[in-house]
Amino acid sequence: MIGYVTVGVDDLALAESFYSAFLPGLGYSLDVSSEGLSYSIAVTPDQGYQPPDFYVKPPFDGQPASTGNGAMVAFEVPTQAMVRKLHAAALASGGRNEGAPGFRAAYSAHFYVGYLRDPQGNKIALYCSSRDEPGRPD
């Protein structure tokens, strides 16, 4: 089980604008500290699964942040309409489009995804794989 995910950034204000454009829509709340941005989802005592926290921080070693080639963080979204809405909100808040929301021929018929880069260049996916949503028309 993943406990948390951290991405490095050099400009926390730009990162906060980008991530706060879509993470609250997925239930994340933000805590800002001198160390950076901490996004988490509140968990009730009876809930067995704790979603991983998502941290956005300057690198601990003091060097400039860099992105991983092939690294990506994917956030599950409940509906295809919400994928489109959150993708657009992230683009309007400084993100770069890496693939418009939609189905991909290489993935399953119910995998609907939009790809982004945050202002630092970290790759983000917003996806819905709900079988309650329409599948890819083949």
Which residue range is the domain that position 97 belongs to?
4-59+67-128
d(CA 115, CA 100): 6
Does residue 133 sit within a domain?
Answer: no
The domain tally of the chain equals 1
Report residue 84: phi and psi, to 5°: -60, -45
Residue 79 belongs to domain with CATH number: 3.10.180.10
Asked if the structure places residue 138 within a domain, the reply is no
Would 71 be classed as within a structural domain? yes
Q: Is the pLDDT of residue 40 over 90?
A: yes
> Would 137 be classed as within a structural domain?
no
Domain annotation covers residue 20: yes
Model pTM? Answer: 0.92
Residue 134, domain member (yes or no): no
Model confidence pLDDT, tens digit, residues 42-83: 888 787 788 899 999 999 999 999 998 899 999 999 999 999
Asked whether residue 72 is assigned to any structural domain, the reply reads yes
- Is residue 40 included in any domain, yes or no? yes
d(CA 53, CA 39): 6
